[in-house]
Amino acid sequence: MSIRRDSRKVGVRGCRPRLEGLETRELLATRVTELNGVLTIQGDNKANQVTVYDGEDVPGGYSPSRIQVVYDGGKTYTPSGPINSINVNLLGGNDTFNYYLGDTQPSPYGLPDSMRTLRVSMGDGNDKAYSQISGFGYGDGTSPSSLGPGRWDLRFDLGNGNDQFKLDEYASLLGTSANNTVNANDVYILVNGGAGNDNMVANFAAATVTNSYYDVVMRGGAGNDSMTMQSYGLVNMANSTVNFDRYGDAGNNSLLGQVEYQLSSNTMFGHVLDSGSGNGKVKATFKGQSRA
């Protein structure tokens, strides 16, 4: 018996090709390198996100640098040797940079090196920079976290754009004095706003500044900037030189916040409130008392 194939053609229903849009993904290319004690972090012209933990024990145990960099959505870098300077250049894009100086709990390895130079260039774009100084605890777990004696020079250039900067300073700054010899603590923090309408805030905890040089300086640059310095309780200063300065530069700038302080022996406390060349407003106040 033969089977005859039906000669009728089976029609194929027309199908029009369709293109589906894929989710746009931005490939970030942050580079982290180290050479001769200098850690360099280089961004690109995209929205880089970088966090530096300075002084924390890194996962897995002891690191000579006590530094870890987290970038590009979770990548990590731990320097292999001691680091004296950190240079950050994030170029264009709306970047985010965080810098944490201190530890969250006393370290079994003792305190890290007591010197750091930090240079941060955020580049063009509407950037956000944050710095937290929590200091280092001691092995007994009861002493307050502190910084010093040593030298920390931290400078932030926000670049062009409407940028944000915030500093939270929780640590006591402690130099030492013994046998008529002072081992001073030196902390210098500078923030340059650049062109754009920037917002800069510095918060100071109720802490102690002893045998220290301590400077916090804000410069607005071009644009209508807001610069706030404020304390949460008394900042106690003794045997120290302290300066909290704000310069509006060009634009209609606002200087805000209240700092409360207490001065004891051999202390010089100065502050500059310069709203700049525009129609600025100064609502910043300093409320102090002296103690013998």
pLDDT, one tens digit per residue, over 53-77 is 998 766 555 566 789 999 998 999 9
Max alpha carbon distance in the chain (Å)?
A: 122
Joined tokens for residue 226: 């807001």
* Contacts for 281 with CB less than 8 Å, ≥ 6 apart: 253, 254, 255, 275
Q: Dihedral angle at the C-alpha atoms of 143, 146, 150, 151, nearest 10 degrees?
A: 180
Chain mean pLDDT for the chain? 85
Q: What is the pLDDT of residue 236?
A: 95
β-strand pairing of 176-178 with 181-183: antiparallel
19-50 CB burial, b ≥16 within 10 A, e <16: eeeeeeeeebebebebeeeebebebbebbbbb
Give tens-digit pLDDT for 170-219: 999 988 877 766 678 899 999 999 999 999 999 999 889 999 999 999 99
Share of the chain above pLDDT 90, in %: 64
- Per-residue confidence at 90, pLDDT binned at 50, 70, 90? very high
**pLDDT confidence of residue 154:** 97
Q: What is the pTM of this model?
A: 0.87
pLDDT at 49: 96
Per-residue pLDDT at 18 exceeds 70: no
Unique residue bearing structure tokens 């805000």? 256
In the predicted model, is pLDDT for residue 41 greater than 80? yes
Q: What's the rounded Cα separation, in Å, for the pair 175 and 208? A: 11
CA atoms within 13 A on the CB side of 97: 32
Is the pLDDT at 285 greater than 90, yes or no?
yes
